[in-house]
Chain A
Amino acid sequence: MLKIKNLNVSVEGKTILKGLNLEVNEGEVHAIMGPNGSGKSTLASVIAGRDYFTVEKGEVTYMGKNLLEIPPEVRAKEGIFLGFQYPIEIPGVSMTNFMRTAINEKRKHLGLKPLTGADFLKLIEEKKKLVKIESKLTNRSVNEGFSGGEKKKNEIFQMALLEPKLSVLDETDSGLDIDALKVVANGVNTLKRKDNATILITHYQRLLDFIIPDFVHVLYDGQIVKSGGKELALELEEKGYNWIKQEVQAE
């Protein structure tokens, strides 16, 4: 589904990703862990198409297409979803209006008829139950006045509505109490299918108590320096990132 080869990315002349390789297939959950400043969020932004990063070298293909040539809104329409680390507030725009616009734009791209108001409301109710989100959130303006936890839950709710092929969740677990964390994890687990994939970007092992990844990668200084199964996350939790740093420096 997603193939990243030798990806080099800079921002304002500073190189952040230095030859990153990653392959994600359908049905897989990948966790990318790493210390602060290792390039985790940069990777998420580049996949989503944020334009202030410069791709210096490398290839990214998604469903067989050169992802780097596709504008961000088209990536979204073709099934890429980014769960934001800091979801953005849009005052005055109701969640329902926002999501209805988003879903219908996506449907248009896929050659489907727009959802009617009634069908859309049904879908909202269905997804609300699925991700166990409170009703009041959908009646408010996009993220406006939401608590940190509500914002993150709202990201999962949007993910449920948009049914992406590839979800990249950027530190969706940060700043969550245990209940909110369960809601987020439950959402990801429920939405998991054979034909979609998830990349979890996280700093802590905690989220992985609730979502079992198929692969764990350690990102350090712009490269994936270690990959393994779920046990790698536990090892990291135990030994800390210094262990990786020492290992890398020793090579």
Chain B
Amino acid sequence: MQNDKDNIINKVTQDDYKYGFYTDIETDRAPKGLSEDTIRFIWEKKKEPDFMLDFRLKAFRHWQKMKEPTWAHVKYKPIDYQDITYYAAPRKKPKYESLNQVDPELLETFNKLGIPIEEQKMLSGVAVDAVMDSVSIATTYKKKLAKHGIIFSSFSEALQEHPELVEKYIATVVPYTDNFFAALNSAVFSDGSFVYIPKGVKCPMELSTYFRINAANTGQFERTLIVAEEGSYVSYLEGCTAPMRSENQLHAAIVEIIAHKDAEVKYSTVQNWWPGDKQGKGGVYNFVTKRGICKEENAKISWTQVETGSSVTWKYPSLILKGDNTIGEFFSVAVTNNMQQADTGTKMIHLGKNSRSTIISKGISAGNSNNSYRGLVKMSKDAVNSRNFSQCDSLLLGNKSGAHTFPYIDVANKSSVVEHEATTSKISEDQLFYCMQRSIDMENAIGLIVNGYAKEVLNKLPMEFAAEAQKLLSISLEGSVG
């Protein structure tokens, strides 16, 4: 046992991918493959309300008529949707009041991941809703939040306890007809997070969720729904890590955010799914639909993302600025190394008058990787006097990586202003030598320079996570120069 532990620790510390270990917990899983039976299986397992079966089946039937999209600047082997397990849950019943009751092995895993679930971290004001293989394991600080009327729970729990809220908001921002992966998620999603902030309430702490794919051959299809009522505020962070696997794993999530009048939602992600090995074998396919709506006047939503993982990323956190005077922001750092591919960006759809949006995207490509920014800024006829500012920077390491920018601009009124700036730069030999002459070795120098380059975005992250994200950037680029 001690030996095994040592082995695991060695593996964790020596492997290229830091989080590549596997927790041996018996799982309760659905048979491989996807059919209406699979969907009924999930629905029954989760004891969901009836409207969910209807919703899931409609989504599934729609999905069957759809084709996988091919327009993104990424290449990957076709996915066999019948070769995936759509539901897997730890067998030991995960309903705990305190951490002492949680399976110690599981806690060990969380500790290795550095998830801030321990007391001290909690004291610093982080409530954590950890998701491991589709079922929420531990929800902390729930009681404190409940005092303010805030609901922060797993999606399954929300379906049991607040079905009317879920029914009212689910798929109102991302309908299941939206795209191929959204339809798939709507049919088979197994868990996720639900956040509800009542009218006038400022959430007193950062809400944080960690997702993690654990069992072999399972897709993780989680779903997040955040509703901020009039005049409320919440900052939400989602972090991800997946253990190392030799076969590709599909991750198709949906995030929906609804901000009502005068409400503000900050959503930050640090995404660190397994990127595959240096030859491009394995890794997670991260095909995610994230969208928010600033529904009424003065609402504000910001997306901040740090993307370092996944072998293929296809992700465009977007905003619909429906109300007048609404504000949308998108801050992104996307790192690709080795054979990783990322096609990511945002859509800002301006519908309301005087709506404003800001896009700052920092791409970093190393190794043989490809990094694309794809963004749409749309000013509708009624979005008079609206403004957008976009800045897309690319940083190249080495000469085998690629950076691409695909901005789409569509303006249908005369009073709106859209600005777009783009730069491409390289880390120079001179910068590296300057650092080395000051005692900083090449790897550290790259970490330092890249973090400097991405600082504008990293500064938008909640303090706690900014440090973590900085470390991740350096780890992701290890070995990126010869």
Contacts and interface: CB of A to CB of B under 8 A. Distances in A.
Contacts of B31: none
Contacts, number: 72
Given A77-B439, A109-B439, A162-B439, A101 B434 contact: no
B65 interface: no
Given A88-B431, A90-B434, A92-B455, A105 B439 contact: yes
B452 A101 contact: no
A87 B437 contact: no
B67 interface: no
Contacts of A72: 433, 436-437
B103 to A, nearest CB: 37
A166 interface: no
B444 A76 contact: no
A92 B437 CA distance: 19
A98 B448 contact: yes
Given A101-B444, A105-B444, A90 B452 contact: yes
Nearest to B447: A101
B438 A88 contact: no
Contacts of B453: 91-92
A14 to B, nearest CB: 19
B441 interface: yes
Interface string B419-461: 0000000001011011111111110100011011111100000
Contact of A102 (B439, B452, B456): B439
B433 A50 contact: yes
Q: How large is the interface on A (under 10, 10 to 19, 20 to 34, 35 or more residues)?
A: 20 to 34
Contact of A48 (B430, B437, B440): B437
Given A72-B433, A84-B434, A106 B452 contact: no
Interface in B372-394: none
A82 interface: yes
Contacts of B440: 73, 101-102, 105
Contacts of B454: 92
A11 interface: no
A88 B439 contact: no
Nearest to B454: A92
A139 interface: no
B441 A73 contact: yes
Contacts of A102: 435, 438-440
A97 interface: yes
B455 A162 contact: no
A107 B435 CA distance: 15
Interface string A121-134: 00000000000000
A158 interface: yes
Contacts of B451: 92-93
Interface in A206-239: none
Interface string B391-428: 00000000000000000000000000000000000001
**Chain B residues touching A, majority SS:** helix
Given A93-B452, A101-B444, A101-B448, A106 B439 contact: yes
A186 interface: no
Interface string A59-96: 00000000000011100110001101001111111000
A73 B439 contact: yes
A30 B50 CA distance: 87
A141 interface: yes
B117 to A, nearest CB: 27
A105 B452 contact: no
Contacts of A82: 437
A87 B449 CA distance: 15
Contacts of B455: 92
Nearest to A75: B437
B448 A158 contact: no
Contact of A76 (B428, B438, B448, B456): B438
A76 B449 contact: no
A88 B452 contact: no
Contacts of B456: 92
B434 A158 contact: no
Contacts of B436: 49, 71-73, 76
B433 A93 contact: no
Contacts of A84: 434, 437
B448 A88 contact: no
A97 B448 contact: yes
A125 B301 CA distance: 41
A108 to B, nearest CB: 9
A158 B438 contact: yes
A166 to B, nearest CB: 12
Contact of B438 (A71, A98, A141): A98
A237 to B, nearest CB: 31
Contacts of B428: 88
A103 B453 CA distance: 22
Contacts of A77: 439
Given A97-B448, A98-B448, A141-B452, A90 B431 contact: yes
Contacts of A92: 449, 451-456
B187 to A, nearest CB: 44
B434 A93 contact: no
A88 B430 contact: yes
Nearest to B448: A93
A98 B447 CA distance: 11
A88 B434 contact: yes
30 contacts: A72-B436, A73-B437, A73-B439, A73-B440, A73-B441, A73-B442, A76-B437, A76-B439, A84-B434, A87-B434, A88-B428, A88-B430, A88-B431, A89-B431, A90-B434, A90-B435, A90-B448, A90-B449, A91-B452, A92-B449, A92-B451, A93-B449, A93-B451, A98-B435, A98-B438, A101-B444, A101-B448, A105-B444, A141-B452, A158-B438
Given A71-B436, A76-B436, A90-B434, 10 more contacts: A48-B437, A81-B437, A88-B430, A90-B448, A90-B452, A92-B455, A97-B448, A101-B444, A105-B439, A105-B444
Interface of B: 428, 430-431, 433-442, 444, 448-449, 451-456
The 3 closest A-B pairs by CB, nearest first: A92-B452, A93-B452, A88-B434
